[in-house]
Structure 1
Amino acid sequence: MNLENKDSSFFSKKDKSDPYCQIQVGAQLFKTRTINNDLNPVFNECFEAVVDQASGQKLRIELFDEDTAGADEELGRLSIPLEVVRKSGEIEKWFHLEGCKHGELHLRVNWLNLSTNPRNLDRDVWENEWITADKPIHPALLMVFVDSVSNLPYPKANLEPSPFVELSLGRTTQRTPVKVKTVNPLFQTKFLFFVKQPEGQELKLKAFDDGTRRELGELNIPIISIMNQPNMEIFQQTFQLVHGIHSSPVVVTARLRTFVPPENTVNSFDVPSAAYGTGQHIERAEKRSQLRETNNGFQNHTDSNVPLKASSNNNGSAVIQSRQSGRCQSRPLTRSLSSLTASSSTSHFRSGHNFVGRLKAGNNTKKVGNHHLQALHSASYK
């Protein structure tokens, strides 16, 4: 709040900055809406992102004044090492914005864990935490690995297809790379989907020919069917992509994980593999006996509050929630900092293969006002 006014001029003293925030996590960028003519903006917006490693990466927030007549001017910036968030579990404080005369950002950041317990989907904590958010908070994460497809049909006579597979869950659609001129493509591609409610949702797979754009087969997998499997996962299971009377076997691995607060779990951050894992479990199924030996009692980890070990059975995820409100105060020139507040909350991490973070902006109790930003970063796959 109390942001620096970049629109004030000799001819017009009444104009104020039109601020918006840009959030960056790795190569992923997010942008809030612009709040016109306001030095104390309230964004109340949520974003989700995927992070492969906390070490060496930062959550970056930049505030700009939108200018329709020229280049947007920076109002301040802030960066927080994700490793600090991971180790702290929760961060809630006012941060001074850099690169401006005044402004603060109040952030509440939390790290969340991944769990194999489907009962966590019934928790009301997400609605309570993000009741002022503009988007729903996802209580679960679906990881999918599309291995291969066999015996795809020809889109036209004597025309070998160049296939790709499109995956959709809700309004989110992702796709594999195109494999040129083959009816037996080997994709070995990983995907992440945030899940709001497993009931009634389906993971839809459709194969297409890149040249003709003709459909080569389709398959629907109910999320509830994955949830009902042991540990909410399926390994290297063969399904059928159906196109008319033709069917093409497709090999898929899928894993559903719920988010849980760190208060109920013990984290193993001393072992890098326990924090991130390699994600190989999503690519190749291992024997259940090997998994049990590696995890030393994996099935009871969630209920007994023992951290999951990094192996083909575990994932880690973190949710970075943030609420922002800004306020400007004069600072000595030696500090040249600005004040816009943001608060971020709840993040969970459980040793495994995914680091998920949410950053969200929310209301602040201080009179200066508030902004809600949420960014979610997660999932490390080698």
Structure 2
Amino acid sequence: MNIVVVPYHDWRKIEMEGARTRDSHIISHLAANKDIENLIILNRPISYLELMVKKKMRKISGKLLFRYKQCSLYELAPKFYVIDYISNSFLGPIRDGKKWFFDSYGDDEFISGYEKCVDYLKININIILTQNVFSAKFCSKVKTPAVFDGWDNFLLFPENSKLQANFISAYTSLAKTCEAWVTNASKNIEFYNKHYNPKSCHLVKNGVDVETFSKSYKLPTDLKNISRPIVGFGGKITHLFDYELFNYIVKDNSDKSFVIVGQILDSNVFSKIIKAKNVYYLGDKHYKQYPSYVTNFDIGIIPYVTNSLEHGADSIKVYEYIASGLKVVGTAGAGMSDMQEYIYIGKTKEEFSAIINRAISDKNTIILPEFYTWKYKSQTIVKLLKQVAMDRVSVKN
């Protein structure tokens, strides 16, 4: 089976930061799946302006095989390719912001470049897996059957409030053109079925590479002088991070060190985190380094909001914490209520704080079943992709 995957994140970002997102985890396992003969990554359109502003003017790793106008085809490994498109548009990204991506995926040059690259490889594409809601126009213009991974509900992201009409249009289009949807949360299935009625919608939650997080790692240098116990948060600071809850537990547990490792995506939220003596922000870490931090925490916390700011998320870090042997204290947000068998849930700030001591003293061992691994999740998706591709062939015949 020959598959094209349209990830949400720019491939340069994935190479620079490591495979730490849902799309990159799934791609890495698809690349190793024996049922897949050729895997092509169709990178999201990017402008020269973005490359300069974000200082990402670096070549994609791999061998350059072919170039057609603004499209380049790279071979990352045998039968594993990336198609990269750099747009000449200068004013578009400045004027339109995120809206630019909705249109750029349907741009004739983008699609013709993609087709030329596929023609160069002389392979027949059986199925497309798009993990990018912005790619709706691409999916509607190509003739290949597609499956949409609608992880998280982008209509509920606060920063997308001005683009509601665009996202609604994209979801509506994907419901018509894609043969099936998958998503990472039951809430999303309910929402998608109610508002867009896709042909089918399947729950495929996030996972973890257990082997990576069950190893012993050397204590990172910047953790060495931090007193224990260490209460750790490994993840992005976004609108989901409940800074009021976090500040409360920091004050209520002055005998413990609170360590944050991860990107700051919402500077406003980060600015409201208490600057206490027992709070340490260690910056973002490459995903290859990240396990050495998590495995050296004493417990892991996920202080997420449980209000209207939720967007049908499924926290990857909860699986990573458990695989690391950590006890986990979380709220009921971001899919954590589904993991009550394995983690502690704090329904109030007082309860959350009180549970921290219990979690630190809990020495019971938890082993995650294979069901929670990225390998299992990717195999589930491959089965769906194969079925969709076979059904399309049957219809043609």
Fold equivalence (TM over 0.5): no
**Greater RCO (Cα-Cα under 8 Å, separation 6 or more):** 1
Larger Rg: 1
Greater strand content: 1
TM-score, L = length of structure 2: 0.27
Greater helix content: 2
